[in-house]
Structure formats: C-alpha cells, structure tokens
Structure 1
Amino acid sequence: MVSPFFAIGNVVVGNNITARARAMAWYMEKSLHGFQTITDGCAFEIDNVIHKKSNRKLTAEALVEAYTPSKAESLRFGSLFKERDIEFGTIRQDDELTVIAKTKNGIITGKELENMTAKQVATHIRNTFPSVSVVNKFEFEIKSICTSATCHGSANYKFQIGDEKVTTKMRSYRDNECQAETMNGDELQSLTNEYLPSETFLDSLHETPYSVERAKTYLFRKILKPSEYKKNYLTSWKNSQAFPGCTVESARLLRECSLSQFTFQTHDQMKSWEREQKYLINKYGQSYETFFTNDDGTINYQLMIDSIDTAIRAGNRNFKSTIKKHKYYNAARDYEEHPEFQCLLMVRANLDIRYGRKLVTGKNDSSEE
C-alpha cells in the first residue's frame, strides 16, 4: 500500500493502519497492566489486570501511574478470570513442565488454555474500554503461559515455567557463547569461552534481585558489513586487513542499568538523565550502579530501579541532585569504576593494535595514527 517501489502509494491510509495497531497496543497494555510492550504484544500477569471501579472514571493519567504506590486510589486489580472459578498450576507432561488450569469442567492445558485466555483478553479489553471502537477490530493470540518473568529495560526479558526457560530476549546481546576476559594483575586472562552475557545476567537478576552479579568483559564477534566499513573506514579500518565479510571482534560489557524502562515527565528531563548516564559510563565504565553496590561487589538492582524511578517521578533532572549534600561531603566519593572497566580498556587497546588503529613503536610505547 505504501512503498517507493509502487506506482501509487497512499501514505495517509498507511499511517492510519499503523496508528490503529499502535492504539490497540496502548489499550491492551493499560487494560492488562502489561509490560515489555513491543509493537503488537505485551506480557501481563493473569491475576493482576486492571478492573474499572464502578464509580470511578478510567483516565489516561491513572493508567500511566498504575505501577506506582498510589495506584489503589483510582484502580482495582484482580484476576483476568475474576468471574470464573479457575485455579492455575503446573504438571509435567512429556518431560516438560506445563501450566494447567483447573476448572469445574476439568483440567485445561496447552493450546486449549491459550485460546481460552486469548478470548478472555479480548473480552476484558472491550469491557474496560466499551466506547472505543478500535478494540473490536483485533483478535489476540497467547504465545505462552509461564510462572515467572525477569525483565530488564523496556524490551529485555526471560520467561520461565518453574526453573525451566521458555524464552529469552535481550536486544543487542546474542545468545552465542562468548570469550570472557578478566585481569590477573596487569595481565589479561581468559575466563571462559562459554560466557553468555544476557543469560548470566538475567539468571542472577531472577534469583537474587538485591545482589546481582557484575558482568564480565567479553569479545563480541560479528560480520563486518559494507556500510560500517565505509562509515568508519578512516577511524577503524584504514590500516586493517579486515574487509567487508570478515568476522571482526569488539570488546563489550553488559550495562546493568537501563533508562529505557522509566517514564520521564518531559523530553528535556529524559535527555538530561541520558547525558548524566553517558558521562558516568565514559568515565567510570558504569553509571548509577556505582551508588547501589553491595559490600560483596554485587548490585542491589531492585533498590537501584526503585530509587531512580522515584527520582524521575519527583521531577529531578539527574540522580546527582538527589544525593544528600553536606559541607564536608563530595559526591565524587561515591563514584567508582566498574570492576571490569580496566579489563575492558585493555581488551579494546589490544583490538586497536590488531586492527591497525594503533601503531606499536616500542615495548611500553604506542601511538595513535
């Protein structure tokens, strides 16, 4: 309908079709109290969806604040199947753990349970927004029903049934095993060739959200694309033997703190927090994690995201402004480098030499071109 390769295209119709789907995604997320919304889907808790109070008007402001402590004032939460006697549980079928629903007519599982839930989702959304016509234009599909979810940022997640993984998605991080490095004194030392950055982080977050293990420096392998080669030719590839199609490596370090999950009050506030975070990462290899490091070196992740969310909702333009000031206190004392930051810098320096970005002129001397 809309393409530069078509003789005739109608951008107005195309935009309306897209807007309809986006509007539906919004109504879906808000009525289900959903999270991790991406394009046309979201995750939600079956026993924690939003129900209208009979004497209260459902407003957009109340829905946006549904996750805050004041939510109980204007919203009511309950089961998606609040009018039906259904009990959820798990059983093992064909050596796999499966979610089941016990009803007065027997046990429901598999596709039958997913289809029943999808129909109830459609009914619930239409009942929540009875005067909105777009909610009648779509049908729903349940991908899977799980017992737990671990979320990071706005689009990274891991769903499980019991202790068994169903699916993991972490944007910018692949599922392939990587080579992890660490520092042994002043020398680099290989830790393992089977490091899974996203899996390791999400597993730790799931098991101990108040003491999450720190990420390791790892080598990320990718195919060098012509566009990247052309764009960064002078700064990265001019003196390298690598060319488009070659497998090249870069040093990476997973960032535990993501600002994408927070709801900012204004665009200016968001940009201000992003500038502060970028400054901290460039200087210390980490951002707000430095303020929430436990004595054993782990991160109190839950406290970190709760504190940042509170600061953002209070209108603060950065985290530094929330730190209590004292005439003998300097906020810089709280800033510490990521424990793997020096390792990251050394691995990057070695890669710069490998790809000709630095010319080695002596044992302890190097110069940049």
Structure 2
Amino acid sequence: MLNERDDQPRPARAGEDLIKVKDLKVHFPTGGGTRRAPEVVHAVDGVSMAIAPGETLALVGESGCGKSTIARALIRLLQPTAGTIIFAGQDITRVAERALRPIRAEMQMVFQDPASSLSPRMRVETILSEPMRLAKWNRDDIHRRVRELLEFVGLNETAVARYPHEFSGGQKQRIAIARALALSPKLIICDEPVSALDVSVQAQVINLLKDIQKQFGVSYLFVSHDLGVVRNVAHRVAVMYLGKKVEEAPRANLYERPMHPYTQALLSAVPRPRVHNRVKRVVLKGDLPSPVSPPAGCRFHTRCPLAADVCRQTEPPLREIESRHSVACHFAGQSIAG
C-alpha cells in the first residue's frame, strides 16, 4: 500500500490553464466486411477537461473506457475526430506534424511498459540524449544534462553505458521518466506508469513523480485504473465510462463523497487496511457495452442499480453539483450500497 504524503503541492486555479480540451471525440472506423457496412468505434465521445500549471488530473475507469485514447490524442499521437485542444494558449488540434515538433518539447509521455518504450538497441546515454540532439543542443550541454537526469531519478552515472535489458522494471521506468524530463516539459502524460511494477517499486516511482512536480512545477495527466495509486498522486480525479466523463472532483471530495453510481462501485472495490473503514463491495452486473453501439440515454444504465426509464431515454448532462464537483447522473448523490 502506498503511503500518502502531505507534501503534495496545491496548485492555484487562478490564471490560464496549461491545457484545455473541449468536446474531444476520437472515433475509429472499422473495416466492416463483405456483408456488413463499416462501423464506428466511439472510443472518446465528447470529453472536456482542463489542467492548471503544476496540477495533476487523474483519469480513471475500466479498460476500454477511453482513458489512454485521450492521453494519446492530447499529445497528437492520435488525430482527434472532433473537438479542440488548446495547449499554452495555442490550438494544436490540427497542427501539421512539422509544426508540432517545438510544441512536443513541452509535452512528453511516460508509457505503461518501460521495456517496450525503450529501444533495446540503444544505450541509456543515447536514449536520454536523443531528444536533445533533435532539439540541436550542443554536445557539452547534452553530456551535462544526461548526468543531471540520471542523478535526479536516482540512477548511477555508470548507467549511461548499459542497455535497457540490464535494468529492473523500476529502473527502466526511471529511465523513461528521465527521458521525458530531458527538454524540461510543462506537461507529462503518464499512461498507467506504475501498473507493470511491483507495489514497493510503485511507491518509489510515484514519490519520484511527486518530487519532480514539486521541484519543476510540471503538470500531469495521470491515467490509471488503480484508485489506490490515484489517491496518492492526483489533485483532481475524472472518472470515465464508455468514452464519456461521468464525474470529476477534487481528490478528497471524490473519495469522501462519490456521487455517481459508477464511481461508488469503483471505490467500493479499493482495498482498505483498517476494519472500521471497510465499505460494502458493490458488484456491477453485466459487461461494459460495446463502444461500437453505445446504449441510448445514460451509457451506464445497463449496469446501474438506480436505473429508471429516464436513464434509458435521456442522456444526463455533466453538471456541477458542488463547487468543482461535476456529475453526469439523473440521481447524483444517491447511494447504491444496499
């Protein structure tokens, strides 16, 4: 279990957000077949969000809900179908690939599996220096920066001559984080960055990410399915379900007063170490519907214990119930625990 630290920075909400996303949609057409028409996968279907400088927004939800698709669309590894992405005051939604290069110096990504995100044919020095070489840094500055990065992420200078396969999983992820820091980005997108690591190593990597934020003021979009991890890293949490955002709130509000039935079910499954803090587990019936043909009305109604006719007919808007606490549910705030 990770230990929650009290030194987590509290970013101010005043001023402009670093990144703003409005009504983002990412759809994937399928090939169809000889006897059926092509279909469309609604991976992300109208999501809006914003991240302030020095803030961590966590995206949580089941596999297939659109979390990683959003992460890749923000950094333009995927082309959005619709919507807008404003980064540092600039619309980057449809910026050409060449024009994206200087912008990408300020937006970096840490992937889930460090073994597959690091080239097995490159030594660590080459991996870390590549972003700086592409940015036309001189050799002396690159040499100094590589050593600084290794020291900051807790690796010995001798690591420069070794290959990724010579390191443990946690050390590989430290190298991946060092590479993301190379050009001093303003935003780092973390896509399940600790899910492939042992629990004890997870704590070390999470604490490293928090130290980076405290020292350099970077913003994070933290994608995870693990609400235990999210509680120790996020300032705000957005809950995704089948391509839609169903709830968003500051961390403490969401964990103490979840208002969407889906959020309540997710939190009921989080292990709790103390007996008096146990919450009755809510087991949702059925499987996640297909994003090819999402249900009408509320997309969660096929699995929701509170579902009524209005849920099957009318999609609930995402509305602010409390200060900075938004929920998309006709029965927001009602408990599903029997």
Q: Larger radius of gyration, structure 1 or 2?
A: 1
The TM-score with structure 2 as length reference comes to 0.28
Bigger relative CO (Cα 8 Å, ≥ 6 apart)? 2
The TM-score with structure 1 as length reference comes to 0.26
